[in-house]
Amino acid sequence: MLIDTHCHLNFDGYDADREAVLRRAADAGVTRIIIPSVDLVTGQEGIDLAERYAGVFAAAGLHPNSTANFTDADLEAITAQAAHPKVVAIGEIGLDYHWDDSPKAMQQRAFAAQLALAAKLELPVIIHNREASDDVLPILEAWAATLPPALKERPGVLHSFSAPPSIAERALAINFYLGFTGPVTYKNAEELRRVALAAPLDRMLVETDGPYLTPVPHRGKRNEPAYVALVADRIAALKGLTLDEFAATTTANAERLFRLPGQPSN
């Protein structure tokens, strides 16, 4: 049993065969999927899919590349979406210095506001960090120090972790989880595999980030939730565990972080 803790299942790349994608996920043992939000529209799309499928959950928030025109009205809309019973996190939020879609100052303002909202609502955060570790980690460290007891042990996840081991250590020190995606299967990803090998089992999650970051042997094709098993299998081998053992651990971790209910009936 596996949980894909980050898949953009609402994106139009799945429109033609979404039902088949979900069937293949179920056949691969993937019982639950979390759809992160990129903006207010995708946040609602995730909620709509979560209402249709028992094993699908959603998050609410603005991706850093969607923050150029961030206002208090956006925060109010995120708050309203987060009230839905199947919204289990605020995210994906964070900083992205690779693209130039939003000024750094505006990204940081939106990030701080959404972190404050997550603490108020006692929801964990899904963190996007691209080429921004030097700013993301100090912000998260300061935020984690102020958290209510309900979030201290489950503040959130650094999604699709791709930073150096020192960043992983700092994130783990403030009780964050690390999310691993397809690149852990890539030939040139030795540093990432070292991070995965060193990471405590009780702080690891597996994700696809579908339709992106497809693992080997499907690299170059569209990613989908069934392929999270390939990510889990690669890390299980690193850890000297069976796939079932590692899957059970990451499933329990996801249930704990996001307070997910048990395996759905459909």
CATH of the domain at 30: 3.20.20.140
Kindly report the average pLDDT of the chain as a whole number: 97
Q: Is the pLDDT of residue 251 over 90?
A: yes
- Average pLDDT, integer, range 54-75: 98
Q: Is the pLDDT of residue 34 over 70?
A: yes
Please check whether residue 240 lies inside any domain of the structure.
yes
Please check whether residue 263 lies inside any domain of the structure.
no
What is the per-residue pLDDT for 231?
98
The domain tally of the chain equals 1
What is the per-residue pLDDT for 263?
57
Q: What are phi and psi of 110, to 5 degrees?
A: -65, -40
Q: Is the pLDDT of residue 265 over 50?
A: no
pLDDT in tens, 175-214: 999 999 999 999 999 999 999 999 999 999 999 999 999 9
Q: Is the pLDDT of residue 150 over 90?
A: no
Please check whether residue 230 lies inside any domain of the structure.
yes
Please check whether residue 266 lies inside any domain of the structure.
no
Rounded to whole angstroms, how far apart are CA atoms 226 and 264? 17
Q: Is the pLDDT of residue 103 over 80?
A: yes
Please check whether residue 264 lies inside any domain of the structure.
no
Please check whether residue 265 lies inside any domain of the structure.
no
Q: Is the pLDDT of residue 38 over 80?
A: yes
Please check whether residue 220 lies inside any domain of the structure.
yes
Please check whether residue 100 lies inside any domain of the structure.
yes
- Give me the domain span that covers residue 138: 2-258
Answer whether 0.85 is exceeded by the pTM: yes
DSSP-assigned states of every residue in 5-33:
--B-TTSGGGTTTHHHHHHHHHHTTEEEE
